[in-house]
Amino acid sequence: MTYHVYVDGQEGTTGLRINEYLARRNDVEVLRIDPERRKDNAERARLLNAADVAFLCLPDVAAREAAALVTNPNTCLIDASTAHRTSSDWVFGLPELAPEQREKIRRSKRISNPGCHSTAFILLVRPLVDAGLIAPDMPISATSITGYSGGGKKMIEQYESGDPALLAPRPYGLGLSHKHLPEMKAHTRMALDPVFLPIVGPFLKGLSVTVPLHLSQLNSGRGASANDLQRALDERYAGEPFIRVMPLRDAATLAQGHFNVQAANDTNRADLFVFATETQALLMSRLDNLGKGASGAAVQSMNVHLGLEETAGLV
């Protein structure tokens, strides 16, 4: 069986990467829009409605408009934008979120693809909330270091212009209202937004989120050990093809003396780590913001939705 797939925003950063994944496959035929007509709604509507699966690789406003153009009940939309990530009639496209998530992705024709920072955050925190180690009302914070491709075509152009001011890491989101906060809160089932500090650096891709914890605050103030954190992650992700839970206090990373935020690049993997003493822990995750943080995740959800091998076309 050949599935018809359309990528709305085919020339953008996430759209191009999805097309690279799809080009390796013989079970998918990609419907392409004439670049001259890429913002022509009639032509977009024709292609969206001709597709079994359509990826929306567009700014939020254009993604909402695209969704409104779809009248074919068989077209499944996978939206890479932030537009629908906490909408009740869209399913969050993170198969590893919870045991029932794959079934939800299989059944829904509206799948919202998680954000890059939020994927890295949710994968660390949700299993610990489910295990009772992080109480939903426990205040937590997170830092994310990301490559500049996370900002799309405009930011790539800016970084690649050679401006020396961009050679240093740049903390941003200083209004404490980053667009990923609603999905971070909703899909970890936390009552509070994390205090979230993203930092963009002078490298193309790769992202790492760190969540610092005092062990005494865990388990509703009764305390827990680093082993408890590690066990909760190991148990939740056992058998997951794209989640690699590294050993507690990963010796190879400690021997290097630093954390490589780019080591999951060009994969659809997320690597999860617990570094800890007797009293404190750092939860860390890393992924490729264009892999598991965007385009790879979108293709994974397509595979799940269509009932194909989940790893098809992905590494």
Ligand X SMILES: CC(=O)N[C@@H](CCC(=O)OP(=O)(O)O)C(=O)O
Hey, which residues are catalytic here?
116
Binding mask 102-131 for ligand X (x = CB under 6 A): -------------xx---------------
How many Cα neighbours within 13 Å face the side chain of 9?
25
Near ligand NDP in 8-47, by CB under 6 A: 8-9, 11-15, 38-39
Choose between 57 and 314: whose C-beta lies nearer to ligand X.
57
Q: Which of residues 62-91 bind ligand X (CB under 6 A)?
A: 82
Count of residues touching ligand NDP (by CB under 6 A):
27
Please give the residues from 124 up to 183 whose contact with ligand NDP meets the rule CB under 6 A: 149-150, 152-153
From 25, 102, 179, 189, residue interacting with ligand X (rule: CB under 6 A): 179
Q: Which string of DSSP letters, residue by residue, matches 213-246?
A: EEGGGTGGGT---HHHHHHHHHHHHTT-TTEEEP
Report the nearest approach of ligand X to the CB of residue 223 (Å).
34
- Contact partner at residue 230 from ligand NDP, ligand X, none, CB < 5 to 8 Å by partner kind: none
Which of these ranges, 135-143, 181-189, 231-239, 288-296, lies near ligand NDP under the rule CB under 6 A? 288-296
Beta bridge partners of 208: 145, 286
CA-to-CA distance for 78 and 111, rounded, in angstroms? 5
Q: Which is nearer to ligand NDP, 57 or 232 (CB)?
A: 57
CB of 42 vs ligand NDP, minimal distance in Å: 12
> Which token pair is 251?
């010796």
**Nearer Cβ to ligand NDP (185/292):** 292
Q: In what order do the strands lie in the sheet with 91-92?
A: 28-31, 3-8, 53-56, 76-79, 110-112, 91-92
Q: Residue 260 Cβ, how far from ligand NDP at the closest point, in Å?
A: 19
Using CB under 6 A, which of the segments 126-134, 148-156, 257-265, 306-314 binds ligand X? 148-156
Q: Report whether 197 contacts 136 (CB < 8 A).
A: no
CA gap 285, 260 in Å, rounded: 11
Q: Which residues of 198-215 are buried (b: 16+ CB within 10 A; e: fewer)?
A: bebbebbbbbbbbbebeb
What's the distance, CA 169 to chain centroid? 21
Angstrom distances, CA of residue 51 to CA of 37, 55, 65, 155: 17, 10, 17, 30
| Sign, Cα dihedral of 5, 308, 232, 190 | positive
Contact range with ligand NDP by CB under 6 A, out of 7-15, 223-231, 234-242, 262-270: 7-15
200 binds, options ligand NDP, ligand X, none, Cβ within 5 to 8 A by partner type: ligand X
* 233 binds ligand X, rule: CB under 6 A: no
Beta strands in the chain (DSSP E): 3-8, 28-31, 53-56, 76-79, 91-92, 110-112, 141-146, 170-171, 195-200, 207-214, 243-245, 270-276, 280-287
Positions touching ligand X (CB under 6 A) are 82, 115-116, 146, 148, 150-151, 155, 179-180, 198, 200, 293
Positions touching ligand NDP (CB under 6 A) are 8-9, 11-15, 38-39, 57-60, 62, 80-82, 115-116, 149-150, 152-153, 289-290, 293-294
